[in-house]
Structure 1
Amino acid sequence: MIYGIGTDICDIRRIEAVLRRQGERFARKVLSDAEFAVWQRRGARWPQRGLRYLATRFSAKEAFSKAVGMGMRLPMTWRNCEISNLPSGQPVIVLHGDLKTWFETQGLRAHVTVTDETDYAASFVVVEQD
């Protein structure tokens, strides 16, 4: 049974402007440690690729928060929700801390997709309940 659906579209230029103002501090706020390491690697080789990575993660976390119906309030936090990739490249949601505990207690599982094109990053999340 579907518990919730969330979608988000993010203007990559807006993320770029925030990065210019706040620098790495913004990325540290939004990304888990694992995501931050990927962001640094991608951005070092090609800055636009790093920017797009950050924007898709921001968008996916927004979409997830909408799908679970709590927005950005505890136990939902930017860093407790991680968007990772399987070896195939498929994006997956990995939860940590109190958010993971809450999510598992509710018997939920999530599916996520992310995309970016020119100036926008978009994400779609479906959360199911057993």
Structure 2
Amino acid sequence: MIYGIGTDICDIRRIAASVAQHGERFAQRVLADGELLTWRQRSARWPARGHSFLATRFAMKEAFSKAIGLGMRSPMGWRLCEVGHAPSGQPCIITHGALREWCGQRHLQFQVSLSDEKDYAVAFCIAQIVPPVRE
């Protein structure tokens, strides 16, 4: 059963401007530790790739917050929601701390998609209720 749907579009140029103005502090506020490491590596090789990476994660976290119906209020937090990848490469949501507990209590699982193209990043998230299997 669908719990909620969220989508977001982000202007990569806006993210680049935030990084130029605030430096790494902006990325540190938005990205979980694993994402921050990847962002640093990509930014060091090619800053534009770093901006795209940060923009897709920003958009996904916004879409996720809309799908779960909380927006950016507790227990939702930028760093408590992480975009990971399944072994197949498919993006997935990894939750941490209080957000993980909140989602677990509601038996939520997520289907996500993200993409970027030159100036924009877009993300889509479906939160679905998947009751535990009873034997």
Same fold flag (TM > 0.5): yes
- Which segments of structure 1 move beyond 3 Å, counting only runs of 4 or more? none
**Between 17-26 and 85-94, the greater mean CA deviation after superposition:** 85-94
2:81 aligned residue: 81
Q: String of CA shifts for 1:76-126, please: whole Å, max 9, x gaps.
A: 000000001223221110000000000000011011110001100000000
* Matches of 2:18 and 2:25, distance apart in 1: 10
Structure 2, unmatched stretches of 5+, are: 131-135
* Matches of 1:5 and 1:82, distance apart in 2: 18
1:101 aligned residue: 101
> Within 5 Å, which residues of 2 pair with 1:1-130?
1-130=1-130
Letter of the structure 2 residue corresponding to residue 72 of structure 1:
M
State the percentage of identical aligned residues: 56
**Between 119-128 and 40-49, the greater mean CA deviation after superposition:** 40-49
Structure exhibiting the larger radius of gyration computed from Cα positions? 2
SS of 1:79 mapped into structure 2:
helix
**Between 109-118 and 83-92, the greater mean CA deviation after superposition:** 83-92
Structure 1, unmatched stretches of 5+, are: none
TM-score by length of 2: 0.94
Letter of the structure 2 residue corresponding to residue 30 of structure 1:
V
TM-score by length of 1: 0.98
> Deviation of residue 44 (structure 1)?
1.0
